[in-house]
Amino acid sequence: MRFPEDVPVLTDDVVTLRAATPADVDPAYRLCQDPEMQQWTTIPLPYLREHAVNFLTQLVPNGWRENTAWGWVIEYDGQYVGTIDLHDGEGGVGEVGFAVSPEVRGKGVMTRALKLVVRYAFDELGWKRVIWRAFVGNLGSRKVAWKVGFHDLVTIPGGGRARGVRKDEWVATIGRDDPLEPKGNWWTVPVLEGDGIRLRPLRESDAQRVMEACNDERTQLWLTGMPSPYGLEDALGFITTRSEAAASGEAVAWAIADAQTDELLGNVSVFGLGGRMDKTRGEIGYWMHPAARGRQVMTTAVQLLLSHAFRPIEDGGLGRRRMIVRCADANTASAHVAEINGFTKVGNERQADPRRDGSYDNMLTYDLLADEYTAPQTTTPPVTTPPATD
């Protein structure tokens, strides 16, 4: 193809993709100074103006001329705001890469640009599949890919590399016949408040309290899957992987915080939301910081959680039909939380819950169905949706 004459202009009337020009060098250079751009992409560091010159006046034009890569400048509001490209398309399977300026992030620009480019890959280049890759933790990019319909995400340990360093990588793909629509749920973590407590997303600054709570003797006794001892690294790992669990549609986890001080008092989660056979159930898990026990905080937290869990998905809830709680039969405090919240004891599995000493407890199952659940009159928690990370 000739450059720029043969570069097609792609537009959805909000975002326009067009051939790069030398006038794009300065805004491209500025974009590449952005810390997120440097963290999540493989651009050279320090990023010099000559890198932008080379990228826009050599690499991108040559890709079109040699039919090996197809790169566009993204225009929004008549301005350069970033780039997007297709590359490595041998055998009808190729990859996409993209970046947009910090000033216009969160406005749907990249979702629009990616849809245009994926359509181009299938309709004009005849590709069968487009691959998206990102370093683990790049939730902004992951959300764009999810919104466009990339699916079946996998994590490849050490699969990516930036500036000579191996990094864990997420990979997802979309096929020619797939709808350009999200597949599966990406749960938000709304703030739910009532009776002096606030359920809110976990943050890195909660790590110390998480560590204290999870190192506690009783937490360690009943939650045998937890590392022992439980260090600050474990706490940080738990916190960061909660955003990923929400993104994959598997689980929603809240910090239970004091409504006045915002200090973490405990954790409550719903997991098993993406079940292979039954996507309408959810299991509740919880633990409290030892200093906050005995004040019915968990009872209230579960009550707040249930109102969200049973609310239809179209109204911002989790759309659950059946909720369950499981605990060792000797764990009376945990069983009490389920019972006081209206759950029915429906099972007692013999010797099903392993202890660290090699013995087993019987495990109780409690359930609560949506059609028998009545939201408490006293608590109508306000629901807001903050960003997924702090």
Ligand X SMILES: CC(C)(COP(=O)(O)OP(=O)(O)OC[C@H]1O[C@@H](n2cnc3c(N)ncnc32)[C@H](O)[C@@H]1OP(=O)(O)O)[C@@H](O)C(=O)NCCC(=O)NCCS
293 touches ligand X by CB under 6 A? no
- Asked if 130 touches ligand X (CB under 6 A), the answer is no
Please give the full DSSP string across 189-238, using - where no structure is assigned. Answer: --EEEETTEEEE---GGGHHHHHHHHHSHHHHHH-TTS-SS--HHHHHHH
| Residue of 17, 117, 139, 214 interacting with ligand X (CB under 6 A) | 139
Q: Which of residues 22-51 bind ligand X (CB under 6 A)?
A: 36-37, 40-41
Residues 340, 297: contact at Cβ < 8 Å? no
Task: Work out which of 17, 20, 43, 100 binds ligand X, going by CB under 6 A.
Answer: 100
Nearer to ligand X, 109 or 297 (CB): 109
Instruction: Tell whether residue 99 is a contact of ligand X (CB under 6 A).
Output: yes
Neighbouring C-beta atoms of residue 106, cutoff 10 Å: 11
Tokens 């990923």 belong to: 244
State in angstroms the smallest separation of the CB of 284 from ligand X. Answer: 24
Please report whether residue 376 would count as binding ligand X according to CB under 6 A.
no
DSSP labels, 38-61: HHHS---SS--HHHHHHIIIIIHH
215 is a site residue for ligand X (CB under 6 A): no
Cβ-based nearer residue to ligand X, 52 or 328: 52
Asked if residue 203 binds ligand X (CB under 6 A), the reply is: no
Q: Which is nearer to ligand X, 362 or 389 (CB)?
A: 389
Q: Which is nearer to ligand X, 170 or 222 (CB)?
A: 170
Q: Does 108 bind ligand X (CB under 6 A)?
A: yes
User: Cβ(16)–Cβ(75) under 8 Å?
Assistant: yes
C-alpha span between 245 and 269 (Å, rounded)? 11
Measured from the CB atom, is 102 or 272 closer to ligand X?
102
Extract long-range pairs of 342-346: CB within 8 Å, 24+ residues apart: 342/368, 342/372, 342/373, 343/367, 343/368, 344/368
Interface characters, 144-163, with ligand X (x: CB under 6 A): x-------------------
Residue (227 or 316) nearer to ligand X, CB: 316
Among 7, 43, 134, 153, binds ligand X (CB under 6 A): 134
Pick 99 or 301: Cβ nearer ligand X: 99
Question: Residue 93 CB: number of other CB atoms within 10 A?
Answer: 15
Q: Does 143 bind ligand X (CB under 6 A)?
A: yes
Rule CB under 6 A: say whether 306 interacts with ligand X. no
Cα–Cα distances (Å) from 310 to 189, 315, 322, in that order, read 15, 10, 8
Q: Does 141 bind ligand X (CB under 6 A)?
A: yes
- CA–CA distance, 159 with 261 (Å, rounded to integer): 42
Tokens of 22: 């030398």
**Is the CB of 50 or the CB of 103 nearer to ligand X?**
103
Amino acid identity, position 282: G
Number of residues that bind ligand X (CB under 6 A): 23
Least distance from C-beta 147 to ligand X, angstroms?
6
Q: What's the chain's Rg over C-alpha atoms?
A: 25
Q: Are strands 69-76 and 15-18 parallel, antiparallel or unpaired?
A: antiparallel
The span of 85-93, 101-109, 160-168, 214-222 binding ligand X (CB under 6 A) equals 101-109
Closer to ligand X at the Cβ: 7 or 37?
37
| Residue 310, C-beta contacts closer than 8 angstroms, at least 6 positions apart | 317, 318, 320, 323, 370, 373, 375
105 binds ligand X (CB under 6 A): yes
Check residue 74 for interaction with ligand X (CB under 6 A). Answer: no
Kindly tell me which residue out of 28, 109, 199, 268 binds ligand X, with binding defined by CB under 6 A: 109
d(CA 332, CA 348): 14
CA distance 64 to 75: 19
Q: Please report the sign of the dihedral spanned by the C-alpha atoms of residue 219, residue 223, residue 226, residue 229.
A: positive
**Residue whose CB is less far from ligand X, 136 or 297:** 136
Taking CB under 6 A as the criterion, the residue among 29, 98, 120, 287 binding ligand X is 98
Which residues form the interface with ligand X (CB under 6 A)? 36-37, 40-41, 98-100, 105-111, 134, 138-141, 143-144, 388-389
